[in-house]
Structure 1
Amino acid sequence: MGGAFVAAAVLARLGNRIGLPTIPLFILAGILLGPNTPGFVLLSDPHDLEMLSALGLVLLLFYLGLEFHMDDLKSGGKKMALAGGLYLVLNVGAGLAFGFAVGWGTSEALVLAGVLGISSSAIVTKTLVDLNRIGNPETKPILGIIVVEDVFLALYLAALQPVLAGADSMGSAMLQIGKAFGFLLVLALAARFGTKVIGKLFDTKDDELLVISFLGAAVLVAGIAEEFGVADAIGAFMVGLMLGNTTSGERIRELVHPLRDAFGAIFFFGFGLSIDPGDLPVVLWPVLIAVALTILMNVFAGLCAAKVYGFGPQPAANVATTLLARGEFALILATMAAVAGLDDRLSPFIAGYVLILAVVAPLAAGRSHWLARLLPAGLTPEEPEHRKEAEPANSR
């Protein structure tokens, strides 16, 4: 674990000097020190960091929930659902079409629909933090799309598991979907109506007790969510959503920062450990086609979000590039596909596809102004920053 932290820190410091984001460098550290590349091997079994990596993902999504206020959900719920739905239709639909086009099989196509269709919540969150865009106007729609994706993810996994396991009972699939949906409903009701009670439970002036309390709640609910067939990440997100609206919310945001950053680095390092670059040549052309297709669909999704929210070219480009990354969910699907005995080309394809987008997405997000120049001028133009600051609040 110490070696992982040091390697991630050294590479990230070197990258900062030439303007590279930290995410691909953390992943690169895992690849270089893992069992799939020549030279020194820090960890021969990626599962040795599995629990710490899971904690990193939980904390990243917990922080995402803290930043997403219930007021935003109440006032912009319809727009959020529309933007998220359009994103899923474009990307999951393109993934399903691609899956059938490569001809690896129906089950494989269903897996590829999820791989190409769902963004990496962890990379999206880290990118927003690294680029100081948490307060940007387009960040709320980005977080909203992530929420819609996570809800879809819970239902998708519940429906996909019986298919991959060869279950012949529709009842089994519906039971899994029902459990997942029921648990999500309980969390949503708690977030909507239980804020005052939850706030009193976490109301303490002692920082030590507050850290132990919110960390315990986030990890516990994430674990329970997994038992109900819901991604652990969305369980942590919902806890963050509840606590972010309490009187302790601001203090929790400050206290979680070092934990989020430290274990987030371990998550991406562990992510790199699981990738074997040697598998990429076998499926190089399908990977490159899928990457190009994903970039194209994300540009369309950015334009759709801009139309829904009335954004200009730059926010549209930010939406398109920030949501581009694919990550932890794709690797979960790769594991499920391997256990189910699906086509052998599926695992190396997913590894290569995820690796390329995990590197390209943060770089593209940092240079989104290049894409903004190519987008239609007919989008709603943004107001200059100096005008926004100069205007009184009642004239906006």
Structure 2
Amino acid sequence: MGGAFLAAAVLARAGARIGLPTIPLFILAGILLGPHTPGFVLVSDPHDMEMLSALGLVLLLFYLGLEFHMDDLRAGGRRMALAGGTYLALNVGAGLGFGFALGWGTSEALVLAGVLGISSSAIVTKVLVDTGRLGNPETKPILGIIVVEDVFLALYLAALQPILSGSDSLGAAVLDGGKAFAFLLLLALAARFGTRIVGRLFDTKDDELLVISFLGAAVFMAGVSEWFGVADAIGAFMVGLMLGSTASGPRILKLVHPLRDAFGAMFFFAFGLSIDPGDLPTVLWPVLAAVALTLVMNVLAGLGAARVYGFGPGPAANISTTLLARGEFALILATMAAVAGLDARLSPFIAGYVLVLAVLGPLAAGRSGWLARVFPGGKAAAEGEAEGQEAARVG
């Protein structure tokens, strides 16, 4: 654990000197020090980091919930659903079509629909923090799309599990889906009507007690969510959503910050441990084709979301690039596919695809202005902004 923290810190500090984002560097540290590359092996079994990785994901999504207030959800629910539904329709639909075009099989195509269709909540959260855009107007629709994706994810996994396991029982699939949906509804009702009670339970002036309380609540609810067939991250997100609307919300946001950064780094490090670079050449062309398809779909989805919210080219480019990365959910699907005995090419394909976008996503988000210039009206807006800055400088 100590070596993992130090390796991630050293690489991130070195990369910061040349302007590289931290996410791909944390992943690179895991690849270099994992069991799949020659040289020194710090962690021989990626499962040794599993609990730290899970805690990192929980804290990243808990922090996301703290930033996404209930008032935002109530005020923009319809537009959020429309933007999120558009994003899913474009990306999941393209992933399903791509899966059938590869000809690896129907079950494989259903897996690829999820791999290509769902953004990485962890990477999206980290990108928003690293780029300083949490206060931007387009951040609310970005977070809204992530929420819609997480709800879809719960239902998608419940439907996919009996297909991958070869179950013929429609009743079992409906039962799993109903259980997941009922739990999501219960969480939503608690977030909507239980904030005042939750606020009283967490009302303490002692920072130590507050940290223990919110950390316990986030991790516990993540575990309960997983038991109900819902992604553990969405349970942590809902706890953050409730606590963010209480009087203790600003203090919790400040206290969780260092925990989020430390364990979030371990999530990306553990992600790197699972990647075997030697398998990537066998699926190079499908990976590149999938990346190109995802780029196009994200641009279209970004333009669509910006249209729904009345944003210009700059926010549209930010939405397109911030949601580009794929991550933890794709790796869950890779594990499920391997257990189900699906096509052996799926695992290296998913690893390569996720790795490319995990690196490309943060880099693209940091340079989204380039994309904004090619959007309709983008060049004129950029020139107007430059003239305004020049006038301010002369003045």
Which TM-score applies when normalising by structure 1?
0.96
Cα gap change, 1:380 to 1:340, in 2 (>3 Å): farther
Please say if residues 307 and 379 of structure 1, whose CA atoms lie closer than 8 Å, have aligned partners that are also in contact. no
Query: Which residue number corresponds to residue 392 of structure 1?
Result: none
Please say if residues 311 and 381 of structure 1, whose CA atoms lie closer than 8 Å, have aligned partners that are also in contact. no
Does residue 336 of the first structure (1) align with residue 369 of the second (2)? no
Q: How many residues align?
A: 387
1:373 is displaced (CA, Å) by 0.6
Deviation >2 Å, runs of 4+: 378-387
**Map of 1:103-182 to 2, 5 A cutoff?**
103-182=103-182
Does residue 273 of the first structure (1) align with residue 266 of the second (2)? no
Q: Report Cα offsets for 1:288-333 as digits up to 9, x if no partner.
A: 0000000000000000011000111110000000000000000000
Amino acid in structure 2 at the alignment position of 1:113? A
Cα gap change, 1:380 to 1:105, in 2 (>3 Å): farther
Q: Provide the C-alpha distance between the structure 2 equivalents of 1:386 and 1:253, rounded to a whole number of angstroms.
A: 37
1:376 is displaced (CA, Å) by 1.2
Q: Provide the C-alpha distance between the structure 1 equivalents of 2:253 and 2:221, rounded to a whole number of angstroms.
A: 18
Q: Report Cα offsets for 1:15-64 as digits up to 9, x if no partner.
A: 11100000000000000000011110000000000001000000000000
Q: Secondary structure at the match of 2:254?
A: helix
Query: Which residue number corresponds to residue 304 of structure 2?
Result: 304
Query: Which residue number corresponds to residue 326 of structure 1?
Result: 326
Query: Which residue number corresponds to residue 247 of structure 1?
Result: 247
Q: Provide the C-alpha distance between the structure 1 equivalents of 2:235 and 2:103, rounded to a whole number of angstroms.
A: 35
Amino acid in structure 2 at the alignment position of 1:218? A
Q: Provide the C-alpha distance between the structure 2 equivalents of 1:379 and 1:181, rounded to a whole number of angstroms.
A: 45
Query: Which residue number corresponds to residue 315 of structure 2?
Result: 315
Amino acid in structure 2 at the alignment position of 1:157? L
Q: Provide the C-alpha distance between the structure 2 equivalents of 1:339 and 1:70, rounded to a whole number of angstroms.
A: 39
Q: Report Cα offsets for 1:265-292 as digits up to 9, x if no partner.
A: 0000000000011111001100000000
Q: Provide the C-alpha distance between the structure 2 equivalents of 1:149 and 1:96, rounded to a whole number of angstroms.
A: 16
Does residue 42 of the first structure (1) align with residue 42 of the second (2)? yes
Q: Provide the C-alpha distance between the structure 2 equivalents of 1:386 and 1:338, rounded to a whole number of angstroms.
A: 55
Please say if residues 80 and 145 of structure 1, whose CA atoms lie closer than 8 Å, have aligned partners that are also in contact. yes
Q: Provide the C-alpha distance between the structure 2 equivalents of 1:46 and 1:173, rounded to a whole number of angstroms.
A: 31
Q: Report Cα offsets for 1:64-109 as digits up to 9, x if no partner.
A: 0000011111110000000000000000000000000000000000
Gaps of 5+ in 2: 389-395
Query: Which residue number corresponds to residue 214 of structure 1?
Result: 214
Query: Which residue number corresponds to residue 359 of structure 1?
Result: 359
1:377 is displaced (CA, Å) by 1.4
Query: Which residue number corresponds to residue 30 of structure 2?
Result: 30
1:381 is displaced (CA, Å) by 6.3
Gaps of 5+ in 1: 388-396
Cα RMSD over matched residues?
1.6
Amino acid in structure 2 at the alignment position of 1:96? L
1:386 is displaced (CA, Å) by 12
Q: Secondary structure at the match of 2:137?
A: coil
Cα gap change, 1:290 to 1:247, in 2 (>3 Å): same
Please say if residues 27 and 268 of structure 1, whose CA atoms lie closer than 8 Å, have aligned partners that are also in contact. yes
Q: Provide the C-alpha distance between the structure 2 equivalents of 1:349 and 1:4, rounded to a whole number of angstroms.
A: 26
Please say if residues 62 and 239 of structure 2, whose CA atoms lie closer than 8 Å, have aligned partners that are also in contact. yes
Please say if residues 91 and 298 of structure 1, whose CA atoms lie closer than 8 Å, have aligned partners that are also in contact. yes
Please say if residues 68 and 241 of structure 1, whose CA atoms lie closer than 8 Å, have aligned partners that are also in contact. yes
Q: Provide the C-alpha distance between the structure 1 equivalents of 2:381 and 2:145, rounded to a whole number of angstroms.
A: 22
Amino acid in structure 1 at the alignment position of 2:188? A
Q: Provide the C-alpha distance between the structure 2 equivalents of 1:32 and 1:99, rounded to a whole number of angstroms.
A: 31
Q: Percent identity?
A: 82
Please say if residues 314 and 378 of structure 2, whose CA atoms lie closer than 8 Å, have aligned partners that are also in contact. no
Q: Provide the C-alpha distance between the structure 1 equivalents of 2:45 and 2:376, rounded to a whole number of angstroms.
A: 48
Amino acid in structure 1 at the alignment position of 2:259? L
Q: Report Cα offsets for 1:161-184 as digits up to 9, x if no partner.
A: 000001101111000000000000
Q: Provide the C-alpha distance between the structure 1 equivalents of 2:82 and 2:119, rounded to a whole number of angstroms.
A: 17
Amino acid in structure 2 at the alignment position of 1:257? H
Q: Provide the C-alpha distance between the structure 1 equivalents of 2:222 and 2:143, rounded to a whole number of angstroms.
A: 19
Query: Which residue number corresponds to residue 260 of structure 1?
Result: 260
Q: Provide the C-alpha distance between the structure 2 equivalents of 1:369 and 1:38, rounded to a whole number of angstroms.
A: 39
Q: Provide the C-alpha distance between the structure 2 equivalents of 1:334 and 1:385, rounded to a whole number of angstroms.
A: 46
Q: Provide the C-alpha distance between the structure 2 equivalents of 1:212 and 1:146, rounded to a whole number of angstroms.
A: 27
1:144 is displaced (CA, Å) by 0.2
Cα gap change, 1:378 to 1:11, in 2 (>3 Å): closer
Please say if residues 312 and 380 of structure 1, whose CA atoms lie closer than 8 Å, have aligned partners that are also in contact. no
1:227 is displaced (CA, Å) by 0.3
